Chain A
C-alpha cells in the first residue's frame, strides 16, 4: 500500500523529461520557485532535527554540562567515557530490562487482540463504524487524562481490586515491583490498540479472496484458514505493529512518571527516557543522557531490523 503511494511515477517521468530542457531548467528544475516554497520547512528540519541530532551525538563524546548562556567553557573530548558511564549504571540496566518486560507483555497482547478485533470488524457485521470509533477513542485521548482514570481504577481499594476480591494482588498493581511494568504495558496496549486495529483492517482487505476460496475448497476449517491464510497475509502489518510497539516502548515517559509515580517502586517501572530526564535535566549530566539516547536509538533500530528480518522470512 505504502509503496504504491510513495513511489510517484510522475516524479520519475519529470526527471527523465528534464533531459530535454534548456540547461538552466535542467539545473534548477522547471519550477525553481518550488525551492522557495520549501525553504521554511527545510529551515525547520535543519533547526529541529538535523542540528540537534548531530549535537546529541557530539555531546555524547564530550564532557558537556550546563553553563550560563555565552560563557566560553571548553567541553573536552572524552571518547567513550559517557557510554561507559551509561552501560555501567544499574539504573540504566534496570530501565532497559523494564522495556524488555514491556515488550514481552505489550507486543503479543497488541498483535493478538488487534488481529482478532480487526478480523471481527472485517466480517460483515452491523455497527462497524461505532466499533471502529470505540477502539480509536483511547488513541486520541491525552495520556495524562487516561492515566488519571487508570490510577483510580487500579488503586489499592480501586474498582479492579474490589472486583477481584480475594484475588487482588498484594502489594497492589501500581506499587508492586512485579506488576507495575506489566500494567504499564497493558495501559499502552489499551491506548494504542485502535491504531493497530486500523492497520490490520487495511491489511486484511489486501489478502486475496482466492486464497480463502482455495482454503475452503481444500476443506480447511475456520481456525485453520485463519492460521494458514490470514496470519501470513497480514505479516507486513504485524511487522509494523511490532516496530511501533518498540518505538512507543522506547519513548515511554508519561506513564512511568505519573502512573507509577516516577518509575516506582524503586525503579521497577522506570523507562530509559525517564532515566534520561533524571540524569540529563534533574542531575545536570546532559552528556551522559545523550549517550543513553544514542544507545536507546541504536537498540530501537536493531529491534526494528530484526523484526523486519524475522517477519519477512516467511515471504521468501
Chain B
C-alpha cells in the first residue's frame, strides 16, 4: 500500500515536473515505453533480415568455413581473399560480370529510350489510342512470365535462332513496364503550361521532348534505372534457358550452375560459393543503399498495383 502511494506521489511529482517542460504531461513517458518496445521489435527484425548478409561476407572471407555458430564470427588468422580467387578460377568473374553488364546495360538502354518516349507520349501528348495503350501498360504488369516462358523459348531460341546471344537474353526484358509507368507518372505531375508554352513558341514536338522534357526528367530517370536494374541483374530463369554457352552466361546463371555442382574443384566450396554470392549481390545492394530515398513506397506501390 505504502509503496503504491509513494509511487503515485512520485508520479504526480514527475508529472508536474514534466508539465513545466511539455504541455502534455503523461505523454512522453508512454511514448518512451512504446518506443522501447517498437525499437526491440524493429531491431530483432533487422537482425533476422541482415544476418544472412553478414554470414555471407564472413563466410566468403574465411579460409576454413565453420558451419557452426563460430563461423559467424570473423577470426583474424582465418581471413583470406582466396575464396574470391577460387570462384574467379571456376566461373571467371570477369567474363560473367561482363555478360551480366551487357544484359543489364542493354535492358537499361532500351528501357530508358523507348520507355521514356512512351511514358512521355502517354502523359503529355494527345493522340489516338492513348487511353487504350495506357490500359495495356497497366495490364502487362500483371501478365505472368510463367505463361510466356514456353512460347518465348520456342520463338526466341527455336524459331529466331537467338540461343546463346545477348539479343535473345535482352529481348523479353527490353522495356520494363514499371519504368514506363514511372516516366508517365512523372510527366503527368509536371505543369501542362510548360509544354503549351513551348508549343506556342513554335517548337516541334520532338524539340519539346529533347529540350524541355528530357532535361527535367532526371529524378524519374534515376528511379526508372533503379527499378529496372534489379530485374535483369538478378534474373536467373530466362538467361538460364537461353544461354548454355559458358562464355556468355551472366553471373547469376554461372553461380547457380556452380552451386548445383556443389562447388566442384574448390578446396573450400562453401567459401567460393559465398564469395560469388557477395560479388553478385554487391552491385544491386550498393545501388539501393546509395539511392534508397528514390525507392519510395509510392513508386513501388503504384508499380505493383498495376
A interface vs B, CB < 8 Å?
1-2, 5-6, 8, 10-11, 14-15, 18, 27-35, 37-38, 40-42, 44-45, 47-49, 51-53, 55-56, 59, 64, 66-67, 69, 113, 116-117, 119-121, 123-127, 129-138, 140-153, 155, 157-159, 162-163, 190, 193-195, 198-199, 201-202, 240, 244, 247, 250-251, 253-254, 257-258, 261, 272-273, 276-277, 280-281, 286, 289-290, 293-294, 296-297, 300
Contact = CB atoms under 8 A, between A and B. Distances in A.
Interface string B159-182: 101000000000110110000100
B47 to A, nearest CB: 9
Given A44-B114, A44-B174, A136-B292, A120 B38 contact: yes
B150 interface: yes
Contacts of B192: 10
Interface in B30-56: 31, 34-35, 38-39, 41-42, 45-46, 48-50, 52-53, 55-56
Given A10-B192, A41-B117, A286 B154 contact: yes
B151 A44 contact: no
Interface of B: 31, 34-35, 38-39, 41-42, 45-46, 48-50, 52-53, 55-56, 59, 65, 67-69, 71-72, 114-115, 117-118, 120-122, 124-131, 133-134, 136, 138, 140, 142-155, 158-159, 161, 171-172, 174-175, 180, 185, 188, 192, 205-206, 209, 230, 233-234, 236-237, 241, 252, 255-256, 259-260, 270, 273-274, 276-278, 280-281, 284-285, 287-289, 292-293, 295, 297-298, 300-302, 304-305
A137 B53 contact: yes
- The main secondary structure of chain A at its interface with chain B is helix
A49 B143 contact: yes
Contacts of A140: 230, 234, 284-285, 287-288
B120 to A, nearest CB: 7
Contact of A38 (B117, B131, B158): B117
Given A144-B256, A297-B147, A300-B144, 13 more contacts: A10-B188, A28-B127, A31-B124, A34-B121, A37-B117, A49-B143, A69-B161, A136-B292, A141-B285, A194-B49, A199-B300, A276-B149, A289-B150
A69 B159 contact: yes
A297 B38 contact: no
Contacts of B304: 195, 199, 240, 244
A169 to B, nearest CB: 16
A64 B153 CA distance: 13
A46 B171 CA distance: 12
Nearest to B159: A69
B7 to A, nearest CB: 22
A313 to B, nearest CB: 20
10 contacts: A34-B127, A53-B143, A55-B154, A116-B41, A132-B292, A142-B252, A145-B252, A199-B301, A277-B237, A293-B149
A123 B34 contact: yes
A5 B172 CA distance: 27
Given A32-B128, A123-B35, A149 B52 contact: yes
B130 A286 contact: no
Contacts of B133: 38, 42
Nearest to A33: B205
A145 B254 CA distance: 11
B127 A33 contact: yes
A202 B297 contact: yes
Given A129-B292, A198-B297, A56 B252 contact: no
Given A136-B288, A195-B304, A296 B146 contact: yes
Nearest to B153: A281
A135 B71 CA distance: 23
B277 A149 contact: yes
A135 B127 CA distance: 42
Given A123-B38, A144-B252, A38 B52 contact: no
B295 to A, nearest CB: 7
Nearest to B208: A31
Contact of B126 (A29, A52, A296): A29
A1 B155 CA distance: 39
B272 to A, nearest CB: 10
Scoring B273, B288, B301 by chain A CB atoms within 10 A of each residue's CB, the highest score goes to B301
A98 to B, nearest CB: 15
B152 A31 contact: no
Contacts of A125: 35, 38-39, 42
Given A69-B159, A148-B56, A37 B120 contact: yes
